[in-house]
Amino acid sequence: MPELPEVETVVRGLRAALAGAVVAGARERFRGLVRGERGLLRRLGGLRVGAIERAGKFILVELGPPPARASGADPSSALGAPAAGRSQRGGHSCPPDSDPGAGQAAERGGHSRPPISGSRPGHARKDALAAPPGESRDPRVLLLLHLGMSGKLLLVPAAAPLAPHTHFVLRLAGGRELRFSDPRRFGRVALGRPGGAADPRRQIVPGREPLDIGAAEFARLFHGRAAAIKSLLLNQALLRGLGNIYADESLFRAGIAPRARHLSRARLERLRRAIRGVLQEAIAAGGSSIADYVASDGARGWFQTRHRVYGRAGRPCPRCGAPIRRIVLAGRGTHFCPRCQR
């Protein structure tokens, strides 16, 4: 499953390639894939791509009206309320109560957007995207994507042959398409208006961002818990985006056994720093391409060449030479050095 570094790599590629792009239409090729306000599928034409952000393993794309229709409004992040936690944009953290839109205006072409809670009454417009009574009147649409186990999100020329298992296509003006393929069909696509009943941000798990969390908060999350630390790291309600690969690699770097419990604050801080370091290195390497994962331009990541324990059962530990062991913990294959990790 693509984890935080892989999803962040996809987001950065899309953000660079789609800034200001205009949507020509959308097509669902696997009936039932799209959740939320399915009627919006027919109303996306003419909207412009705004913020593209990551929350854990989720990708959130903001589609809004042309800039002239949003003039004079206060900027805000597409990942604002109701989702909890902090957004991650290119590795820079942003607390949930701050205003990330102002610092990102240049990245998004300098265009401001209406508040995430909905347009003010004097600025509401009656158009194809106007909400029914009692619903959000925000003219924007939020597109939420989750790659699942085997999903790929590729930006290709519209004339390119359609790959097998392509289930969703976002057509763009100028002859490009954003295609979502997912052979195992564990991925997710959702549409909705900000603040509406089907606001797709409600599907985002509320865990903290591993790249943002500070020492005190990390200690509060994990100190005194009786479960095995590997199981806790995979709990998306605690930390969102961390998965099997990077949990194993982080525990190795911190010298902590995956079955360790009741960690001291000093060991937890060592682990927090290891998690951040591993994730940052993996993002810089474009993620780990072990099975299906590729970036939005089709490029493979190469962090798998730097794995120290994951997938290396029976091979010598790079630190002490002892054979790497593999066990099953919390239903997941878990790799560790029995000598270096305690």
Instruction: List the CATH number of the domain containing 305.
Output: 1.10.8.50
Q: Which residue has the higher pLDDT, 48 or 99?
A: 48
**pLDDT confidence band for 142 (50 / 70 / 90):** very high
Name residue, tokens 């020509």: 24
At 126 the pLDDT is 35
**Residue 13 region by backbone torsions, left for phi larger than 0, else alpha for psi between -120 and 50, else beta:** alpha
Judge if 119 and 190 occupy the same domain. Answer: yes
- Determine contact, residues 79/95, Cβ cutoff 8 Å: no
* pLDDT of 260 higher than 70: yes
249 a catalytic residue: no
Distance from C-alpha of 160 to C-alpha of 249, rounded to nearest angstrom: 38
Peptide bond preceding 258 in cis form (omega within 30 of 0)? no
Judge if 176 and 237 occupy the same domain. Answer: no
3 a catalytic residue: yes
Indicate which residue of 43, 57, 152, 179 is catalytic.
Answer: 57
Considering the domain boundaries, does residue 159 fall inside one? Answer: yes
Judge if 195 and 264 occupy the same domain. Answer: no
- Determine contact, residues 36/26, Cβ cutoff 8 Å: no
| Listed residue (211, 11, 12) closest to 93, CA to CA | 211
Task: Find the range with the poorest average confidence among 25-29, 116-120, 302-306.
Answer: 116-120
Query: What proportion of the chain, given as a percentage, has pLDDT over 90?
Result: 72
Distance from C-alpha of 24 to C-alpha of 20, rounded to nearest angstrom: 13
Indicate which residue of 3, 8, 53, 177 is catalytic.
Answer: 3
Would you tell me the crossing angle of helices 265-284 and 4-18 to the nearest 10 degrees? 40
Judge if 148 and 247 occupy the same domain. Answer: no
Q: Which of 203, 224, 253 is the last residue of a domain?
A: 203
207: Cβ–Cβ under 8 A, 6 or more apart, which residues?
Answer: 56, 85, 235, 236, 237, 238, 239, 240, 241
At 291 the pLDDT is 80
Distance from C-alpha of 53 to C-alpha of 294, rounded to nearest angstrom: 18
At 77 the pLDDT is 55
Q: Which of 178, 203, 228 is the last residue of a domain?
A: 203
Considering the domain boundaries, does residue 210 fall inside one? Answer: no
126 a catalytic residue: no
> How much is the mean pLDDT over the chain?
84
Considering the domain boundaries, does residue 29 fall inside one? Answer: yes
Distance from C-alpha of 328 to C-alpha of 315, rounded to nearest angstrom: 18
At 80 the pLDDT is 63
Interval 53-71 mean pLDDT:
84
Judge if 73 and 196 occupy the same domain. Answer: yes
177 a catalytic residue: no
Considering the domain boundaries, does residue 341 fall inside one? Answer: no
- What is the pTM (predicted TM-score) of this model? 0.80
Judge if 131 and 268 occupy the same domain. Answer: no
For position 46, which CATH number holds? 3.20.190.10
Judge if 195 and 253 occupy the same domain. Answer: no
Distance from C-alpha of 254 to C-alpha of 282, rounded to nearest angstrom: 16
Number of alpha carbons in the 13 Å side-chain half-sphere of residue 16: 9
Considering the domain boundaries, does residue 175 fall inside one? Answer: yes
Judge if 42 and 153 occupy the same domain. Answer: yes
For the stretch 222-243, what's the b/e string if a residue is b when 16 or more beta carbons lie within 10 angstroms of its beta carbon? Answer: beeeeebbbbbbbbbebbbbbb
Considering the domain boundaries, does residue 209 fall inside one? Answer: no
Q: How many domains does the chain have?
A: 2
Judge if 197 and 233 occupy the same domain. Answer: no
Domain that holds residue 255: 215-336
Judge if 222 and 85 occupy the same domain. Answer: no
Judge if 247 and 193 occupy the same domain. Answer: no
At 21 the pLDDT is 97
Considering the domain boundaries, does residue 53 fall inside one? Answer: yes
Judge if 259 and 133 occupy the same domain. Answer: no
**pLDDT confidence band for 292 (50 / 70 / 90):** confident
Q: Which of 145, 171, 203 is the last residue of a domain?
A: 203
Considering the domain boundaries, does residue 231 fall inside one? Answer: yes
